[in-house]
Amino acid sequence: MTSRRQFMMTIVPAAAALSVMSQARAADAPKVDEKDQAAMGLGYKHDATKVDAKKYPTYKAGSVCGNCQFFQGKAGDAWGACPLLGGKQVNAKGWCSAYAKKA
């Protein structure tokens, strides 16, 4: 029988190690190519100021990957992983049609 204390002393370090490993993998992920099929489907651009606002009327100035709920980089990171693009890294100054402002 395992006590709650023993369980917590085992699970907390394991969870921390997994978190560090996943962050390291995200940092090693390749940068998404704008010509990638998934990126094209979402209208992804490395530079949000280059988005065709007529084609993507949901685009609003200031809407960038860095302040999107899907961006997995830290605040201030130039690139961060995006689960919508297979975990590849997106530019924090980029944009795609799945943009959803962080709460």
pLDDT-derived band at 86 (thresholds 50, 70, 90) equals very high
Answer yes or no: is pLDDT of 95 > 50: yes
* The predicted structure's pLDDT at residue 6: 65
Answer yes or no: is pLDDT of 79 > 70: yes
User: For the segment 10-56, what is each residue's pLDDT rounded down to a tens digit?
Assistant: 676 655 554 444 454 556 899 999 999 999 999 999 999 999 999 99
Beta strands in 1-103 (DSSP E): 79-81, 89-91
Q: In terms of pTM, does the model score above 0.75?
A: no
* The predicted structure's pLDDT at residue 7: 57
Q: State how beta strands 79-81 and 89-91 pair.
A: antiparallel
Strand partners, 68: 101
